Amino acid sequence: MKMFGAIEAGGTKFVCAVGDENFNIIDRISFPTTYPGETMERIFDFFDRYKDLKAIGIGSFGPIDINIHSEKYGYITSTPKTNWRNFNFLGEMKKHYNLPIGWTTDVNAACLGEYEIGSAVDNHSCLYLTVGTGIGGGAILDGKIIEGFGHTEMGHIIIRNHPHDDFEGVCPYHKNCLEGLAAGPSIEKRYGIKAENLDEDHRIWRIVAYYLAQALVNYTLILRPEKIILGGGVMNQAGMIDFVREAFASLLAGYVETPDLDSYIVTPSLGDNAGIIGGLILARRAL
Amino acid sequence: MKMFGAIEAGGTKFVCAVGDENFNIIDRISFPTTYPGETMERIFDFFDRYKDLKAIGIGSFGPIDINIHSEKYGYITSTPKTNWRNFNFLGEMKKHYNLPIGWTTDVNAACLGEYEIGSAVDNHSCLYLTVGTGIGGGAILDGKIIEGFGHTEMGHIIIRNHPHDDFEGVCPYHKNCLEGLAAGPSIEKRYGIKAENLDEDHRIWRIVAYYLAQALVNYTLILRPEKIILGGGVMNQAGMIDFVREAFASLLAGYVETPDLDSYIVTPSLGDNAGIIGGLILARRAL
């Protein structure tokens, strides 16, 4: 039985795991994201105990450099987390482990997990979007992660304000892009309390659903994925996925065919494990 | 020397061509798009003269069915051109020619032409957008046309109105989507005269550029292509490509890296031949 390592490197916490070739998780650890030196020590402490790992897969918060021809391939680049800016994450891992190491974004890794053994297991293409303190997405087509000059940044697309929401947005780059209007911090900024403390029937949830639906319409028209998987804290809100489906149908106006919306716009079937399982898959692919 | 056939099936005219394996065009014909029976006769008359064709490639106006598992694979589907609705274009071709036949949209074919031997010849990915009486786009990543549940419909993405343009849009499905706000008919509807008859310094050109730039920002964030190629009649407007580049830089706000904008946002190097050359490439691929 081959053993693989996986790292889900998030902006607030890291998860490291070891799993077998069927992606059963055998051991895992989780710790807060502090600064690179300390974090790398914890990673090494964990994986050093497994001498028979065949490969490791990393899904990292970003932006990261994924261009193998770039001098900064494997770096975390222009993140607002200044400790981590220009940190050669993959390089540090390779110095310590003489193993094949897969490298992509956290959302691409989660997308890969859902694609291979999750909600999109029967599909040839899918898109994964997480909606929480930020919004990020990844897409896979015929097994291949969609990326070109760099990785995708689907959370920052331009959308239009809801007719009853003139909020200016919180994105430091774009103000009222998708993330600036629909991620958790935008909700908190509007009302001065955390999103999860707002009533279930608060008007904001329909507004957020309208923003997400706009994004999904654009993803649909630009990529035509067979499935869209919505994760993250905001999607835990009661009824949210139905609100998104309703707004999506209204906005797309039947222009292109999609699968039935109940099977097209879905939640992750791997739950919080999508990213770490995606890391194991990435490891196997690296091998 | 292998010989290939190509069809660029447009909503207003058809182009048929025969070319060699280096995509040199040896013969071509063009005729107006009337109704399927007459049009197919003209196609057959043209290609029947070439007995040694190895394959044919078709880039068709749409929407078309490109799902090989679908019963309607090869059909033109819900086009507003009622004569052509539910016409089994590929099926009629296959009845007449016992040859491999490639099948995709007109914009995907043009994208393929630019990718293989045009503006994106040195890139691994590109996006092609045509802006004329309609807006359509195609994208290629590592040689593969981006498509999933169906082909892309990039012209209909949701964008926001320019602060000084409250035009309601002309798209019959979405009113003020990209095509509804920025294609030729929207310009004509605003001013009652054809777009090409408006002054070079008319304010509409900056507004159109703003709409196109929004689309390009979203394509960039969702696909990260290495090059974006803008064709079609509206792009012939003096200065338009520079207006688009300027608006793009302003809207993206440096959030992700792109190639230098003068080499990122470009015009087609195959000009009006992109589609038909793409058809020849499609034919070679079908073989």
Nearest beta carbon to residue A222 from set B154, B159, B255: B154
Q: How near does any CA of chain A get to the CA of B183, in Å? A: 17
User: What mean pLDDT do residues B147-166 have?
Assistant: 97
CB–CB contact A159 B156 (8 Å): no
CB–CB contact A218 B222 (8 Å): yes
Q: Are strands B144-145 and B135-141 parallel, antiparallel or unpaired?
A: antiparallel
Q: Is B105 on the interface with A (CB under 8 A)?
A: no
- Complex ipTM, two decimals? 0.96
Q: How near does any CA of chain A get to the CA of B19, in Å? A: 31
pLDDT of residue A112: 98
Closest chain A residue to B214 measured between Cα atoms?
A158
The rounded distance, in Å, linking the Cα atoms of B66 and B72 is 8
DSSP B51-109: TTEEEEEEEE-SSB---TTSTTTT-B-S-S-GGGTTB-HHHHHHHH--S-EEEEEHHHH
Q: Is the pLDDT of residue B78 over 90?
A: no
Q: Is B124 on the interface with A (CB under 8 A)?
A: yes
Nearest-5° angle of CA B56, CA B60, CA B62? 150
Sign of CA dihedral A181, A187, A189, A191: positive
CB–CB contact A222 B218 (8 Å): yes
Interface of A with B in 32-61 (CB under 8 A): none
Weakly modelled stretches of chain A, pLDDT under 50: none
pLDDT of residue B61: 95
> In this predicted model, what pLDDT tens digit does every residue of A35-57 receive, in sequence order?
999 999 999 999 999 999 999 99
Q: Is B223 on the interface with A (CB under 8 A)?
A: yes
Q: How near does any CA of chain A get to the CA of B282, in Å? A: 19
% of chain B surpassing 70 pLDDT:
100
Secondary structure of residue B198 in the 3-state scheme:
coil
Q: Tokens representing B74?
A: 């090869």
The rounded distance, in Å, linking the Cα atoms of A124 and A285 is 17
